[in-house]
Amino acid sequence: MLSLRNKRIWVAGHQGLVGQALVRALPATGASVLTVPRFALDMREQQAVRHWLRQNNPDVAIIAAATVGGIGDNQARPADFIYDNMMIAANIMHESAHIGLEKLLFLGSSCIYPRDAMQPIGPESLLSGPLEPSNEAYAVAKIAGIKMAQSYARQYGCRFISAMPCNLYGPGDRFDMKRSHVIPALMMKMDVARRQRQSALEVWGTGTPLREFLHVDDLAAALILLLQTHEGTEPVNVGSGQEISIADLATLIAEITGYEGDIRFSPAYPDGTPRKILDSAVMRGLGWRPEIDLRRGLMQTYDWFLQNKASAAEDHYVA
Ligand code: GFB
C-alpha cells in the first residue's frame, strides 16, 4: 500500500480529459499535484524533460499526456500519433528512472490489443495478433510504452505500472466534429443540427460496432487505487463492463441533445474494430466499480459542453 498523503504527484498531461479528472480527484488523497503547462515543457524533448524532472523532483508521476483523437484523427495523423506518444513515454520513463521516482503510472488504451482478440480481452492477448489498422500507429506507441515500463522494472527495479482504459468520455473532452472521439463528435453534430433544424445528419460507419464506455471520473478513481495498491508489470485493464452499439449510442445522444431529425449511417467512413470489451478482473478484484452510468454521464458531459463551448473546441495536443 502506497500512501499518497503529502506525496508530490506529477500529472503529465493535466490539460487533457484524463489529466483534468486526476487533478480533480487527487487532492482528496492528501497528495499535492504538480503540473506544467504545455508551452513551458514539450514532453517530446528529452533535454527539457530531464531538466524539468531534476528541478521539480516529484515522488510519483502519471503519464496522462498523449496525442490522442478519434478514428478520423488517427487515420489522418499516424506520424504525429506514433512520434509524439513514443517520445513522451520514452522521455518521461527514462528520466524518471534516474531521479529515483517512487512510482509511475503509464496510461495506454484498449486499442493495444489485436483486432480479433478473444472477448472480453485479457492482458494475455497482447501481441498475439494483428492490430486494428485505423489506429495501429497509436497502438504501437502505447505497446512500446508498456514494454518500456516492464523493461525499466526488470532492469532497474522501477515501480512502473500500466493501465489500459476502454473508450473514455466526460467533461474536459475535446469537441471537434472531425478529430474527436465518437461521443463528443456526435454531441457537437447533434447540437448544431438541432439548433439549425436539420432534418438529417450523418453518423460514420455502419452503426454496428460495439464500444465499452467509461466516465473519466470513474477512471480517475481506478488510477488512484492502482497507484495506492497495485504492483506488477502486466497492464491492468479498466473498463465499465457495459457495451453499446454505435447506433444505440447515437439514439441516446439524440435524446439527450434534443435532436429529432434522422440518423443516417455512412459506411463510406470506417467502423474501426468491431468489438473491444475489456476483461477488468484485476480492477474488480481491488474492489473498484464504476459509479456513473452511461446515460447520467452523457447528460453531465453535454451540460459541461453547453457551458464550455469555447474551451471544449480548443486544439488540445495532450489528452
Ligand atoms: O470514438 P472513436 O473514434 O474510437 O469511434 P475507436 C468509435 C466508433 O464510432 C467507430 C463511430 O465505429 C466510428 O466509426 N463513429 C460514428 C464516429 N460517428 C462518428 C463520428 O462522428 N466521430 C467519430 N470519431 N466516430 C479510437 C482509436 O478508436 O479509440 C484511438 O482510434 C483510441 O486510438 C480510442 O484507442 C479509445 O474506438 O474506433
Over the range 146-175, which residues count as b (16 or more CB within 10 Å of their CB) and which as e?
Answer: bebbbebbeeeebbbbbbbbbbbbbbbbbb
Query: Is 60 exceeded by the pLDDT of residue 171?
Result: yes
The pLDDT of 167-193, averaged and rounded, is: 97
Nearest 10 degrees: Cα torsion 225, 229, 232, 237:
-30
* Catalytic positions: 138
The confidence band for 136, taking pLDDT boundaries of 50, 70 and 90, is very high
Pocket lining: 109 vs ligand 1, CB cutoff 6 Å: yes
pLDDT digits (tens, 9 = 90+) for 103-114: 999 999 999 999
pLDDT value of position 318: 42
Pocket lining: 207 vs ligand 1, CB cutoff 6 Å: no
pLDDT digits (tens, 9 = 90+) for 219-272: 999 999 999 999 999 999 999 999 999 999 999 999 999 999 999 999 999 999
How far, in Å, CA of 110 to CA of 121, rounded?
9
Cell numbers at 89, concatenated: 513515454
3 state DSSP class of 300: helix
The pLDDT of 137-160, averaged and rounded, is: 98
CA of 231 to the centre of ligand 1 (A): 31
pLDDT value of position 301: 98
How far, in Å, CA of 60 to CA of 227, rounded?
9
Q: Give residue 213's Cα distance to chain centre.
A: 11
Radius of gyration of the chain (CA): 19
Pocket lining: 211 vs ligand 1, CB cutoff 6 Å: yes
The confidence band for 65, taking pLDDT boundaries of 50, 70 and 90, is very high
pLDDT value of position 135: 97
pLDDT value of position 319: 37
The pLDDT of 12-38, averaged and rounded, is: 98
Tell which atom from ligand 1 comes closest to the C-alpha of 189.
Answer: 21
Pocket lining: 185 vs ligand 1, CB cutoff 6 Å: yes
CA of 228 to the centre of ligand 1 (A): 32
Q: List all residues 6 or more positions away from 172 whose beta carbon is below 8 Å from its beta carbon.
A: 16, 17, 20, 21, 216, 304
